Each structure stands twice: as C-alpha cells, then as structure tokens.
Amino acid sequence: MKAIIGAQLVVSLALALACSGLAWAAPAGEVTHLSGTLSARKADGSSKLLSIKSTVEQGDLIATEAETYARVKLTDGSEIVLRPNSQLQFEAYAFQNDKPESDNVVLRMLKGGLRAVTGLVGKRNRDKVNVQTVTATIGIRGTHFGALLCQDDCSQVPTATGNPPANGLHVDVADGAIILRNQAGQQIVNVGQFGFVANFNTLPTLVPPQDGIQVTMPQSISDNRSGSQGIGRREQTECGL
C-alpha cells in the first residue's frame, strides 16, 4: 500500500510540475563543433561550461570567448556558427515535427557575429523565425546568412578599405533572403546582397558588394564531418549550404 501511495505521489508531482511550467525543458539543440571556451547562462541565473554534445535550451544565453568558434545544431535542423566574443540568447524555441502550428524561434544576438542556415521552421513557417539585435530584427525567409554586430569591437574584421567596419549590424545572404526591420522601416536583402543598419532609428539599407562585410568561419568549424557542404568557409567566395 505504501509503495502504491508513493508511486501516486511521484506521478502527481510530475504532473504538477508539467502544468506549472517547471518540467524539464526539452533541448533546443546541441553543440556539434567547438574550438575554445563556450559557456551558457541558464534561465535560472546559473552558468555552466559547454562542450561538444552539450544541449542548449530555451532561455539559455550562450557566449564564446576570445578565439572561440562554436557550432550548434537545433532540433529542426537549423545550424548556427558563432564567432569569438559573441553572445546569443535562445529567447523562444518551440518545434515539434508534426505540429507546425506551434513553431516559434526567437534568437537575440547581443554581441558578436554568426552564420546560420535555417531548418524546417524557416522553410514551413518563415514568419516564425526571427533574430533580434539592438539595431534591427532579422526576419528569415528560408535562408543562409551571416550577421555581425559591431559595437566598437570589430577592429580585427578585414574590410576593403582597411578601416574597421562601422558600428551597427552588417549582414550578408548566401541563399534565400532576409528582411531587416526596425522602427524606421524595412529592407529585403536577397541572395548575393549585403545590408547594413546603423541603429534602431535608421532605415536599413543595401550595401554595394565591394563594401559589404561577409562573416566567415574557419573550415574546421564550417565543415560537417558527415560530408555536406560548409557554412561560410573562409576559402569560399560564395558560402554554400
């Protein structure tokens, strides 16, 4: 009798946790490639170091240190590669393969840069994938793109002029399209194009290719070991999926 009552209490507690939103969070993705130190600040304020095969959850703020590159694969097939000194928060993540109506992916890039290839959510519910920054929101249109947020910290990024990139959000699109949106308006950036947003109150604009900033990654991080094409290799003039 005591065993039965104990089992019932365990089941009741699990149901209560699930109903109150305190159940264990389902993983949003997994670290697949890592060179350097990667950490995560959890939604409860705790912090932990991540390694290859570590999981990332909704609410996590992941951060790369100097010289660190990290690649994360999400459960919908999306892939994200972070540059050194970058911070990315998984503000919202909902994906179930058989429930497209529940799709919702909201990432917040607080610092640094990334390259990303969208997965199933970006293909079937493209309005449900957004990357937010302090200057603009990047709306996804089933794409492969790069983004670099300069805040007096891009002096090492090469440019055609030799001068550091201007402060603001720089983007490039290797496949598909993105929409840059902020308080001033919006701008579509198509494949092969570059965009720039100085701040949240300035209209997003297209940038001539010779002046564009392309986010590149080391081959060791951009390549899939399974043999598929890489994400933003430094050797590529056009970044393949």
In a domain, 7, yes or no: no
What pTM was estimated for this model as a whole?
A: 0.83
Low-confidence spans in the chain with pLDDT less than 70: 1-25, 222-241
Summarize pLDDT for 212-230 with one digit per residue, the tens.
999 999 988 866 543 334 5
In a domain, 21, yes or no: no
In a domain, 157, yes or no: yes
In a domain, 1, yes or no: no
How high is the pLDDT of residue 142? 78
CA separation, residue 69 to residues 78, 112, 147, 159 (Å): 17, 11, 15, 21
In a domain, 67, yes or no: yes
**Residue 127: which CATH number?**
2.60.120.1440
In a domain, 233, yes or no: no
Q: Is the Cα torsion angle 179, 241, 75, 51 positive or negative in sign?
A: negative
Torsion of CA 230, 231, 233, 236, to 10 degrees: 80
In a domain, 241, yes or no: no
Summarize pLDDT for 94-118 with one digit per residue, the tens.
999 999 999 999 999 999 999 999 9
In a domain, 81, yes or no: yes
Provide the residue range defining the domain that includes 180. Answer: 28-222
